[in-house]
């Protein structure tokens, strides 16, 4: 039980990190394709 819980926690952290990485990548790509008007 304890082992599976640790694995689940690691998986959750991995998914969160992947989500943040993808979000930043898409954000930078969007900003590069659509520069903010200044």
pLDDT in tens, 1-38: 566 666 678 889 999 999 999 999 999 999 998 876 76
Integer angstrom CA distances of residue 5 from 1, 15, 24: 6, 15, 29
pLDDT at 15: 93
Give residue 35's pLDDT: 73
pTM of the model: 0.56
d(C-alpha 33, C-alpha 19), whole Å: 21
Radius of gyration of the chain measured on its C-alpha atoms: 16
Task: DSSP for 1-38, please give it.
Answer: -HHHHHHHHHHHHHHHHHHHHHHHHHHHHHHHHSPPP-
């Amino acid at each position: 039980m304890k082992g599976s819980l640790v694995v689940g926690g690691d998986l959750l952290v991995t998914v969160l990190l992947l989500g943040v990485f993808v979000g930043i990548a898409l954000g930078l790509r969007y900003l590069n394709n659509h520069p903010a008007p200044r």
